Amino acid sequence: MKNILITGMSRGIGRATALACAARGAGLGLLGRPSEKQRESADLCLKAGAKRVLSLAADATQVAQLERAAGEFLDAFGAPDAVIHSAGIAVRSSIEATSVASWQEQLQINLSAPFVLTRALLPAMRARGAGRIVFVGSISSTLGTANLAGYCASKWGLIGLMKSLAAELTDSGLMTCAVLPGSVDTEMLVGSGFPPRMSAEQVAQTLVHYAFDAPLAHNGGCIEMFGT
């Protein structure tokens, strides 16, 4: 049985990914702020075939909460077979209209939280000599978009984090990569002006491939998804 930690599983890509992992009989740690949607995701995963589901309560802007949740996962499952960093937010506003608080929140959730969780889980994964860390980036990890400076900056930074981690994981038995979807049919796309080009389930299928099956030679890879 594979044991997977997934963030942002209350909706969209994160929930679709959790369900896809559940269908493969994984044990799941679902990390996010406690909510009815989180509880619903846990129930759906059990019905979909997950061997075990552990809901981990953490605010992605709070380092201590993230570290505690990582410790709870390690106590329950041991070193994860895969970590899928799916949580993210996007706030649409011009640079002049973007508050410092909004800027910082986007960087905390989209960039700092994956760093904190990876740092907390990596020693156990290294000790076992196996595991995969998959980041959900975006086409916005490669370009700039008007009124999305905070989101784009955080997603560009996420690729820098992943690439540096990949270099550190050489010959370790671990691998990391990032999946960069374009316009996905989720709540986050609403109001963007872009039509959906793919479903959350299609992105989830890709994430599960890299979390479960892809060769370790994909270490450091960025997998772009432009849609149809």
Catalytic residue among 151, 161, 211, 225: 151
Cα separation of 187 and 8, whole Å? 13
The full DSSP string for the chain is --EEEEESTTSHHHHHHHHHHHHTT-EEEEEE---HHHHHHHHHHHHHT-SEEEEEE--TT-HHHHHHHHHHHHHHHSS-SEEEE-------B-TTT--HHHHHHHHIIIIIHHHHHHHHHHHHHHHHT-EEEEEE--GGGSS--TTBHHHHHHHHHHHHHHHHHHHHTTTTTEEEEEEEE-SBSSGGGTTSSPPP-B-HHHHHHHHHIIIIIS-GGGTTEEEEE---
Structure token pair of residue 226:
């432009």
Write down the pLDDT at residue 195. Answer: 77
Q: Cα 56 from chain centroid?
A: 15
Whole-model pTM: value is 0.95
The full DSSP string for 118-133 is HHHHHHHHHHHT-EEE
Question: What CATH number should be reported for the domain holding residue 7?
Answer: 3.40.50.720
What is the residue-level pLDDT of the chain in tens, covering all 228 positions? 899 999 998 889 999 999 999 999 999 999 999 999 999 999 999 999 999 999 999 999 999 999 999 999 999 999 999 999 999 999 999 999 999 999 999 999 999 999 999 999 999 999 999 999 999 999 878 888 899 999 999 999 999 999 999 999 999 999 999 999 977 767 665 666 677 877 999 999 999 999 999 999 999 999 999 988
170 CB contacts (<8 Å, ≥6 apart)?
Answer: 219
Name residue, tokens 């309560």: 57
Cα separation of 227 and 70, whole Å? 33
210 has catalytic annotation = no
Cβ contact 106:89 at 8 Å: yes
Count the domains in the chain.
1
Write down the pLDDT at residue 39. Answer: 93
Write down the pLDDT at residue 182. Answer: 78
Q: In terms of residue numbers, what domain contains 72?
A: 3-225
Structure token pair of residue 140:
């916005």
Write down the pLDDT at residue 168. Answer: 98
